[in-house]
Structure 1
Amino acid sequence: MRHIRVIGIGAGDPDHLTLQAVKAIARTDVFLVLGKTGERQELVRLRHRMLEEHARPGHRVVEVPDAERDRTARGYPAAVEDWRRRRADVVERLLAEQVGPEETAAFLVWGDPSLYDSVIAVLDDVHARVDATAFTYEVIPGISSVSVLAARHRTTLTRVGRPVQITTGRRLAEGGLPDGVDDVVVMLDGDAAFAGIDPEGVEIHYGAYLGTDDEILVSGPLAETAERIRALRAEARARKGWIMDTYLLRR
């Protein structure tokens, strides 16, 4: 039986690898990479650096093009489901063609695989399609950008007796800060949605490229920092060609 590992590798610092992740990498035969069009070469190099340091001699790396998501589709949930189905097609072929009987394969997932990542859902889809004895899989948690954000700003995500909500830039842009929640973590924000909400009484703890040499940190009242963050964000995106950021909004 084939065995699959979904390994969280942290937000960008090689030292974010947990001991559990390091041991899992060392026990893996083949690493499966779903290559994205124009993927950031810094992240590709970082992944290979981790394998050079921790993978066993003779390990294999198999990279295939990832399924492309239609970002122009009008129905967002339907577009995501279609993308995941086509990703499952790719993964099913990978497991059948590149992972031998009794071998162990792994997907290296940025941050924590349980937080805004589709690999677990895709493997569940593939598992439902094939013989239940075709493979087993396990998930190795990782240090998420949310945890790194809080640590870098020396704060906690929750306050006494209060909840925290994790949402996306899309949802924040649609509805603003949710009622009854004073602490909101925002991820997957392509358009600086924080700049479009009422800043009165709101603080922001912002982080981009967390854990890397290019890390950007800004904290303070949203009314005073929003434009500065937008400018820093735009400059960094133009210089590097991509941006990954996370932030905490706090009433």
Structure 2
Amino acid sequence: MRKIYVIGIGAGDPDHLTLQAIKALNEADAFFILDKGEAKADLIRLRRDILDAHVAEGSYRLVEARDPERDRETSDYSPAVDDWRSRRADLYERFIADELGEDECGAFLVWGDPSLYDSTLAVLEEVLGRGAVAFDHVVVPGVSSVSALLARHRTVLNRVGRPVQITTGRRLAEGWPEDVDDVVVMLDARQAFTRHLDQDLYIYWGAYVGTEDEILVSGRLSEVSERIEELRAAARERKGWIMDTYLLRRP
């Protein structure tokens, strides 16, 4: 039976790879990569750098396809994501059926950790559910952007006896979560932290964490919010995209 590895490759630093991940990389016959366009060509380059650093040249195949576009303007968020994932499933199904022999091993390289805000596992489950192609799959955990962010700021995720919530900018914009003092925010395209300047919050913010473009800011939200907005806008203008994560903490 075909075998698929879903490998967490960390937040951007090639040194984030675990020994388990390196072992899995060297078992793969083919690596499946989705092209997100010229603006995000850096993401493919970083994947290639990882393969060059840890896998013998000529021992694998690269299979690339253009990632389907997701409707980011619609107010119906969940149906738009479901449609996008189904179109991704079409690609993954073709990858596995057409590009992988019955006794071969393929791999998807996932930023951070495959269990945290990534669609690869859900898409593969949809492919399996269709029943057109059979395969076994193994998940290799990686260093998440959350772990990398907190390590770079030399702080912890949780405090004794207190819960932590990981959420999106979309949800934070709707209001502060109940009974939580520590909130990690991902996928915040609209800088929802600016809606909470009236609260006494501390922020640990980072963009492109683990890469050569890394930017870090920490401090009282009311004092550093404008600086983060300026840095974020400049970085997005320079690179054409941004990946940032932050922790908001009540005293």
Give the TM-score category using the shorter length: over 0.9
Matches within 5 A, 1:154-193: 154-175=154-175, 177-193=176-192
Residue 245 (str. 1) matches residue 244 (str. 2): yes
**Structure 1: which 5+ runs fail to align?**
none
What corresponds to 2:84 in structure 1?
Answer: 83
What's the secondary structure of 1:189's corresponding residue?
coil
Q: Which amino acid aligns with 2:185?
A: V
Distance 1:131 1:234 in 2: 45
Q: Which deviates more from structure 2 when the two are superposed, residues 96-105 or residues 51-60? A: 51-60
Shift of 1:196: 1.5
Q: Find the aligned partners of 1:123 and 1:40 in 2 and give their Cα distance.
A: 23
For 2:225 and 2:198, the matched residues in 1 are separated by 9
Tell me if the contact between 2:39 and 2:240 (Cα under 8 Å) persists in the aligned partners: no
- Residue in structure 2 matched with residue 50 of structure 1 by the alignment: 50
Offset of residue 200 of structure 1: 2.3
Label 1:244 to 1:106 Cα distance change in 2 as closer, same or farther (>3 A).
same
Which residue in the other structure is 2:225 paired with? 226
Alpha-carbon distance in 2 for matches of 1:29, 1:39: 28
**Superposed, which structure 2 residues align to 1:198-237 within 5 Å?**
198-237=197-236
> Do the aligned partners of 1:199 and 1:222 also contact (CA within 8 Å) in 2?
no
1:113 is matched with 114
Q: Which residue of 1 aligns with 2:27?
A: 27
Letter in 2 for 1:241: G
Shift in Å at residue 39 of structure 1?
A: 4.7
What is the Cα deviation at residue 131 of structure 1? 5.8
Identity rate, percent: 61
Under a length normalisation based on structure 1, what TM-score does the superposition of the two structures give?
Answer: 0.96
Matches of 1:153 and 1:140, distance apart in 2: 25
User: Which 5+ residue runs of structure 2 have no aligned equivalent?
Assistant: none
Distance 1:186 1:199 in 2: 18
Figure out how many residues of one structure are paired with residues of the other and give that number.
249
2: distance between equivalents of 1:81 and 1:178?
25
- Give the root-mean-square deviation of aligned CA atoms: 1.2
Amino acid at match of 1:120: L
Secondary structure at 2:174's aligned position in 1? helix
Contact 1:11 1:111 in 2 (8 A): yes
In the TM superposition, structure 1's runs of 4+ consecutive aligned residues that sit over 4 Å from their partners are none
Q: CA deviation at 1:240?
A: 1.4
C-alpha separation between the residues in 2 aligned to 1:142 and 1:42? Answer: 19
- Secondary structure of 2:146's counterpart equals helix
* TM-score, structure 2 as length reference: 0.96
Which residue of the partner structure matches residue 104 of structure 1? 105
Aligned partner of 2:12 in structure 1 is: 12
Cα shift at 1:60: 0.2
